[in-house]
């Protein structure tokens, strides 16, 4: 009898397959939740570090400003959320007025999916309120019931972006009404680089003091070499479209103001800094000045002593924080450090430069350029440096200062007459006498005067001023 072939094995049933798939998704889900939990715990710790670093930076910056300070900073950490609080004190009471206290609260949702609103280490919403309830109620009313918003997203790599929005509002005080437009700003920090962009359409003041502040824009891009670097390199710029103060006996109008600063390394051990002011027009006291430019620079500054001096200033401010007593005198050690660091700066041949100082007139600009530097201090012996430390006036023999003034005769005459006619530059014959004496040179319609102080002697266009 032939054996029967057993039937083929039945295929795996669908319910079992669904069970395996469900188990897989369950395991994956548990793993994901575990990863989220672990990441949340990690980013919660990292967020506290980042927040505390940010608070310390704020403390340093506010103390340096001299108008505010931070006190009562606390951090309460939870698993998915944390709270950081501090009190910012505006004013020091020296003018007889009570300081104003702001209560700052950071509500922090930990990552990597903070509040399921973004991806990152944390989402931080900041609330700022006046400690005085009556003052806070007035501000809430001024903002029409709206509240400023300040939100920071801390990325997985430690970068952070903060967005600030302040609603438009109206506030009346002592007969003056202030109307301001909404302000927006964004700042970001990535490693040792920080950036800022701020825009504000401005405000108006109506009443006894009438004023209009036009559009303001601020941009900044600064990079530090280390967390202890107090200088940083990069650029900051600010623009103001217009400012008009109509109240009072002397109305003032300023148009097209641009401010700028830049810091950069000059090699690895030296630092260059520039500061620029450009104003399209200033009107006041019956006078009008156009195209006012002030461009200043400090070059070849030794980084190490400059950093030490900056740290000393910060340490002194930190020691005085929260105190109402006068700042104590420097200790002998601090005085010695300051003298040594200033001398170290001078030994590196620093240069103070007037890149441009000019005022425009209807006939063209009047321009001043110049430079002051100390030469040869690096070659002095220890004994000579010690003598210089005791008698700083000895450094005058090392000063090399140059200044050049250039302008057309009509431009110079117009500028001088703005301040009054009692000047030789308002009289063509007097100008010619200066040219004949060699104190001023004329090339075409351009007048030039070169002033120099070197080796303790002053010259004008190469001629000793002692001869005139």
Round the average pLDDT of the chain to a whole number and report it: 79
What residues pair up with 292 in beta bridges, in sequence order? 279
Please answer whether residues 412 and 419 qualify as being in contact, where contact means their C-beta atoms are separated by less than 8 angstroms: no
**440-465 pLDDT per residue, tens:** 899 988 999 999 998 888 888 888 87
Residues 163 and 279 in one domain: no
Please answer whether residues 232 and 247 qualify as being in contact, where contact means their C-beta atoms are separated by less than 8 angstroms: no
Least confident span in 36-40, 65-69, 219-223:
36-40
The residue-averaged pLDDT of 196-209 equals 90
Residues 271 and 162 in one domain: no
**Which range scores top for mean pLDDT: 60-69, 312-321, 340-349?**
340-349
Query: pLDDT confidence of 421, banded at 50, 70, 90?
Result: low
Query: pLDDT confidence of 300, banded at 50, 70, 90?
Result: very high
Q: Which one of 122, 143, 167 terminates a domain?
A: 167
**157-175 pLDDT per residue, tens:** 768 888 889 999 998 887 8
Residue 318 resides in a domain? no
Residue 176 resides in a domain? no
The three-state DSSP-derived secondary structure of the chain is CCCCCCCCCCCCCHHHHHHHHHHHHHHHHHHHHHHHHHHHHHHHHHHHHHHHHHHHHHHHHHHHHCCEEEEEEEEEECCCEEEEEEEEEECCCCCCCCCEEEEEEEEEEECCCHHHCCCCCEEEEEEEEECCHHHHHHHHHHCCCCCCEEEEEECCCCCEEEEEEECCEEEEECCEEEEECCEEEEEEEECCEEEEEEEECCEEEECCCCEEECCEEEEEEEECCCCCCCCCEEEEEEEEEEEEECCCCCCEEEEEEEEEEEEEECCCCEEEEEEEEEEEEEEECCEEEEEEEEEEEEEEEEHHHHHHHHHHHHHHHHHHCCCCCCCCCCCHHHHHHHHHHHHHHHHCCCEEEEEEEEEEECCEEEEEEEEEEECCHHHCCHHHHHHHHHCHHHHHHHEEEEEEEEEEHHHHHHHHHHHCCCCHHHCHHHHHHHHHCCCCEEECCEEEEEEEEECCEEEECCEEHHHC
The residue-averaged pLDDT of 179-188 equals 92
Residue 148 resides in a domain? yes
Query: pLDDT confidence of 279, banded at 50, 70, 90?
Result: very high
Least confident span in 89-93, 226-230, 435-439, 462-466:
89-93
Q: Length of the chain in residues, anyone? A: 468
Provide the percentage of residues in the chain whose pLDDT is more than 90. Answer: 30
> Which is more confident, 75 or 218?
218
Cis peptide before 335 (omega within 30 of 0): no
* Residue 303 in this model has a pLDDT that exceeds 50: yes
**321-379 pLDDT per residue, tens:** 656 666 777 888 998 898 889 888 888 889 999 999 999 988 889 999 999 887 777 67
Residue 210 resides in a domain? no
Backbone angles phi, psi at 133, to 5 degrees: -60, -40
Residue 108 resides in a domain? yes
The residue-averaged pLDDT of 287-314 equals 92
Question: How many CA atoms, within 13 angstroms, populate the side-chain half-sphere of residue 143?
Answer: 16
Residues 150 and 272 in one domain: no
**203-242 pLDDT per residue, tens:** 999 988 789 999 999 999 999 998 889 899 999 999 999 9
Least confident span in 247-256, 307-316, 425-434:
425-434
Residues 288 and 423 in one domain: yes
**Considering its fold, how many domains does the chain have in total?**
2
**6-15 pLDDT per residue, tens:** 444 444 444 4
pLDDT value of position 373: 84
Please answer whether residues 169 and 147 qualify as being in contact, where contact means their C-beta atoms are separated by less than 8 angstroms: no
Cβ-based neighbour number of residue 345 at 10 Å: 20
pLDDT value of position 65: 56
* Residue 42 in this model has a pLDDT that exceeds 90: no
Residue 175 resides in a domain? no
Domain range for 361: 266-302+335-468
* Residue 106 in this model has a pLDDT that exceeds 80: yes
pLDDT value of position 189: 85
CA torsion sign for 111, 103, 164, 188 is: negative
Q: Which one of 115, 132, 167 terminates a domain?
A: 167
pLDDT value of position 403: 93
Q: Which one of 117, 135, 167 terminates a domain?
A: 167
* Residue 135 in this model has a pLDDT that exceeds 50: yes
Least confident span in 196-200, 213-217, 284-288, 302-306:
284-288
Residues 274 and 149 in one domain: no
Residues 277 and 405 in one domain: yes
pLDDT value of position 461: 87
Residue 246 resides in a domain? no
Residue 162 resides in a domain? yes
> Which is more confident, 249 or 293?
293
Residues 158 and 282 in one domain: no
> Which is more confident, 396 or 83?
83
């Amino acid at each position: 009898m032939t054996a029967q072939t057993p039937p083929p094995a039945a295929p795996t049933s669908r319910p079992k397959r669904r069970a395996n798939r469900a188990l897989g998704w369950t395991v994956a889900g548990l793993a994901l939740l575990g990863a989220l939990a672990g990441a949340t715990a990690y980013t919660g710790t990292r967020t506290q570090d980042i927040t505390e670093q940010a608070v310390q930076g704020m403390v340093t910056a506010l103390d340096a400003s001299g108008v505010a300070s931070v006190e009562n900073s606390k951090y309460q950490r939870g698993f998915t959320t944390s709270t950081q609080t501090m009190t910012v004190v505006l004013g020091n009471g020296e003018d007889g007025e009570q300081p104003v206290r702001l209560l700052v609260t950071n509500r922090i949702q930990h990552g990597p999916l903070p509040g399921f609103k973004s991806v990152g280490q944390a989402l931080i919403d900041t609330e700022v309120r006046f400690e005085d309830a009556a003052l806070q109620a007035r501000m809430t009313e001024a903002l029409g019931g709206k509240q400023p918003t300040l939100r920071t997203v801390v990325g997985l790599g430690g970068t952070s972006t903060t967005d600030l929005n302040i609603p438009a509002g109206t506030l009346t005080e002592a007969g003056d009404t202030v109307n301001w437009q909404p302000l927006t700003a964004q700042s970001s920090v990535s490693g040792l680089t920080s950036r800022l962009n701020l825009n504000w359409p401005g405000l108006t003041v109506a009443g006894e003091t009438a004023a209009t502040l036009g559009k303001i824009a601020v941009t900044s891009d600064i990079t530090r070499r280390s967390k202890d670097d107090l200088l940083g390199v990069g650029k900051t710029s600010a623009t103001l479209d217009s400012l008009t103060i109509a109240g009072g006996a002397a109305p003032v109008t300023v148009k097209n103001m641009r401010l700028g600063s830049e810091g950069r390394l000059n090699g690895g051990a030296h630092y260059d800094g520039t500061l620029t002011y450009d104003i399209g027009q200033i009107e006041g006291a019956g006078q009008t000045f156009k195209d006012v430019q002030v461009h200043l620079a400090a070059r070849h500054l030794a980084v190490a002593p400059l950093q030490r001096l900056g740290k000393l200033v910060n340490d002194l401010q930190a020691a005085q924080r929260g105190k109402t007593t006068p700042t104590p005198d420097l200790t002998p050690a601090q005085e010695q450090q300051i003298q040594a660091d200033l001398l170290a700066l001078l030994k590196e041949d620093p240069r103070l430069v007037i890149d441009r100082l000019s005022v425009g007139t209807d006939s063209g600009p009047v321009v001043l350029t110049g430079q002051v530097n100390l030469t040869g201090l690096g070659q002095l012996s220890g004994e000579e440096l010690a003598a210089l430390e005791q008698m700083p006036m000895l450094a005058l023999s090392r000063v090399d200062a140059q200044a050049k003034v250039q302008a057309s005769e009509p431009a110079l005459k117009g500028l001088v007459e703005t301040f009054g006619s009692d000047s030789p530059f308002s009289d063509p014959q007097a100008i010619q006498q200066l040219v004949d004496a060699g104190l001023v040179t004329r090339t075409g319609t351009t007048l030039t005067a070169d002033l120099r102080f070197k080796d303790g002697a002053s010259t004008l266009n190469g001629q000793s001023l002692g001869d005139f």
